[in-house]
Amino acid sequence: MPQTLSVIKADVGGFVGHSAMHPDVLGEAAESLERAVQSGLLLDAQAHACGDDVFLVMSHERGENDESVHQLAWDTFVAGTEVARRLHLYGAGQDLLVDAFSGNIRGAGPGSAELELEERPSEPVLVFMGDKTSAGAFNLPLYKMFADPFNTAGLVISESLHEGFSFEVHDVREHRKIVFAAPAEIYDLLAFIGSPARYAVKRIASRATGEIAAVSSTDKLSEIAGRYVGKDDPTAIVRCQGAFPAVGEALEPFTTAWTVEGFMRGSHYGPWMPTSLAEAHPSRFDGPPRLVALGYQLAEGKLVGPRDMFDDPSFDNVRREANDIADYLRKHGPFEPHRLPLDEMEYTTMPAVAAKLADRWAPL
């Protein structure tokens, strides 16, 4: 029977400021998930945190977009919000953008990535959790995993990967999607996903088997709320081995500290730093943006793990690189390219400032 791996996340309150998740909030989430496992709604589940976001990792047999699973996630976030308010945590409930749940988490504020699969004899998966960055941040790493032979040797030397992958890309502003075949259409693909503020890779499938290889969250808070209410803090699920990239190939893109939007107030570019769970608590200028990778073996729906994949000295160099890039960009202060370009500042105070000064502009 097909299984579904759902990762649904939200910021329900930061400790201290936007830097971390309070243990009581995470504990509330874990208790909620345990009750759902005991009731039979879920096969297995865990709650984890990256920065000030709680990520619910849930295995079940109910398919994608199941109302009961999404209701559970919403209720868990509401309960976490109550804990956050009791502790006077910062931004309590900030990702809960609607007053009541209406059947699906999408469009309500929280982000989600869901992947339906037929479990193989050995089913290794990676769950990526990001903080202080935006939907679309996974575009470049996913491209390298599934389309770049300099990153993924299996695209050249493994028969099961050689036919390539299909990329489903979402236009998050016009709410439409398109599918590109790699390698045949990689130039067309890059023309769009090279602009991650608007175009985001949602789903990747094997062209050999049709199986879904990876999914990411493409929910943009500013597009939903019409104003800045926090960054999207995306998540992604990647299946590994066999017809998919090896675990080491899926982690290899993160040996470079890619520049992503987010950082302080979601209005700056900064380096994406892969860290262990223990170091996923950004504090310097609310950053640098963080990324955690949790590795699991699925065993009849049970989550065997996690392994903390970036808790590895081989990623020390990229962490140093991220700090060096952060030093350089911070010196720009309010100037681009550290601050986002004007068209990406439309959800900040920039429109209000422009409106206030509109009648002071004079023709040249």
Q: Return the closest-CA partner of residue 344 out of 241, 239, 269, 292.
A: 269
Residue 228 bears catalytic tag: yes
Contact 291, 130 (CB under 8 A): yes
Tokens in use for 260?
């992503």
pLDDT exceeds cutoff 90 at 334: yes
Tracing tokens 């109302």 back to the chain, one arrives at 67
Q: CA 226, 105, 109 angle in degrees (round to 5)?
A: 30
- What pLDDT band is residue 323 in, cutting at 50, 70 and 90? very high
CB 245 within 8 A of CB 148: no
Q: What is the pLDDT of residues 307-322, one digit of tens each?
A: 999 999 999 999 999 9
Token pair for residue 178? 């398109």
Output the pLDDT for position 276. 98
Q: How far apart are CA 115 and CA 237, in angstroms?
A: 7
Between CA 69 and CA 63 the distance in angstroms is 9
Active site residue 187: no
pLDDT at residue 115, as a whole number? 98
pLDDT at res. 96: 84
The pLDDT mean for the chain works out to 94
Place of tokens 């469009």: 107
In the set 24, 188, 228, 311, the catalytic residue is: 228
Kindly name the residue from 9, 11, 269, 347 that is annotated as catalytic. 11
Phi, psi dihedrals of residue 114, rounded to the nearest 5°: -130, 135
Reading the block at residue 220, the tokens are 């943009």
pTM, entire model? 0.96
11 is catalytic: yes
Q: pLDDT > 90: what percent of the chain? A: 86
Catalytic residue among 9, 66, 231, 296: 231
From residue 9, alpha-carbon distances to 48, 111, 190, 219, 325 in Å are: 9, 5, 28, 11, 28
What is the side-by-side order of every strand in the sheet holding 44-50? 44-50, 53-60, 3-10, 111-117
Contact 238, 113 (CB under 8 A): no
State the pLDDT at residue 219: 79
Which SS3 state, helix, strand or coil, does residue 360 take? Answer: helix
The SS3 of residue 73 is helix
Q: What b/e sequence results for 300-328 when a residue is b if at least 16 CB atoms lie within 10 Å of its CB, and e otherwise? A: ebebebbebbbeeeebeebbeebeebbee
Mean pLDDT computed over 145-166? 97
Taking the C-alpha atoms of residue 142 and residue 138, their distance in angstroms, rounded to an integer, is: 6
CA distances from 347 to 67, 131, 209, 231, 355 (A): 31, 19, 42, 11, 14
When pLDDT is cut at 50, 70 and 90, the band that residue 255 belongs to is very high
> pLDDT: is 294 or 1 the higher one?
294
